[in-house]
Amino acid sequence: MRYAYAITTAALLGGAAATMVLQPPAGAQTAQENRSALVQATPRPGAPASFADMVAKLQPAVVNISTTQKVKVDNNPFAGTPFSQFFQGGKPVTREAESLGSGFIISSDGYVVTNNHVIAPGSSNAVVQSITVTLSNNKEYKAKVVGHDESSDLAVLKIEGTNLPYVTFGDSKAARVGDWIIAIGEPYGLGGTVTAGIVSAVHRVTGQGAYDRFIQTDASINRGNSGGPMFNMQGQVIGINSQILSPTGGNVGIGFAIPADEAKPIIESLMKGQKIERGYLGVGIQPVTDDIASALGIPKNRGELISSVEPDSAAAKAGIKQGDVIMQVNGQDVTPDQTLSYLVANIKPGETVPFQLIRDGKTMTVKATLATRPPESQLRQFSTDQDDNGMPDGSDQSAKNPAESLGVSVMPLTARIAQQLGIPSSVHGVVVLGTDPSSDAAQKGLQRGDVIVSANRQPVTTPEELGRAVKQAKAAGRDQVLLYVQRRNIGRYVAIGIENNSDEGQ
Active-site choice (172, 226, 409, 502): 226
Active site residue 50: no
Query: Is 225 marked as a binding-site residue?
Result: yes
CB atoms within 10 A of CB 454: 23
DSSP 217-286: E-S---TT-TT-EEE-TTS-EEEEEEEE--SSSS-SS-EEEEEHHHHHHHHHHHHTTPPP--EE--EEEE
Distance CA 154, CA 113 (A): 7
The backbone torsions φ and ψ at residue 209, rounded to the nearest 5 degrees and listed phi first, read 145, -165
> Residues 462, 430: contact at Cβ < 8 Å?
yes
CA distance 179 to 200: 8
CA-CA distance, 183 to 244, in Å (whole number)? 13
Question: Annotated binding residue at 153?
Answer: yes
Q: Catalytic residue among 99, 102, 149, 153, which?
A: 153
Cα 359 to Cα 8, 18, 310, 362, 492: the distances in Å are: 70, 65, 18, 5, 17
- Rounded Cα distance between 69 and 97, Å, is 5
Set 66, 99, 117, 172: catalytic member: 117
H or E stretch at 418: helix 415-421
Residue 224 assigned ligand-binding role: yes
CB atoms within 10 A of CB 74: 14
| Residue 125 annotated as part of some ligand binding site | no
Concerning whether 117 is annotated as a catalytic residue, the answer is yes
The CA distance from 266 to 156, in Å, is 10
Q: Is position 226 annotated in a ligand binding site?
A: yes
Give the CA count within 13 Å in the CB-facing half-sphere of 99.
Answer: 25
Asked if residues 268 and 251 have their Cβ atoms less than 8 Å apart, the reply is: no
C-alpha–C-alpha distance, residues 60 and 401, integer Å: 72
The continuous run of DSSP H or E covering 55 comes out as helix 52-58
CA 90 to chain centroid: 40
Query: CA–CA separation, 504 vs 470, rounded Å?
Result: 8
Is 36 noted as a catalytic residue in this protein?
no
Task: Indicate the annotated binding residues.
Answer: 117, 153, 224-226
Task: Indicate the annotated binding residues for substrate.
Answer: 117, 153, 224-226
Give the active site residues.
117, 153, 226
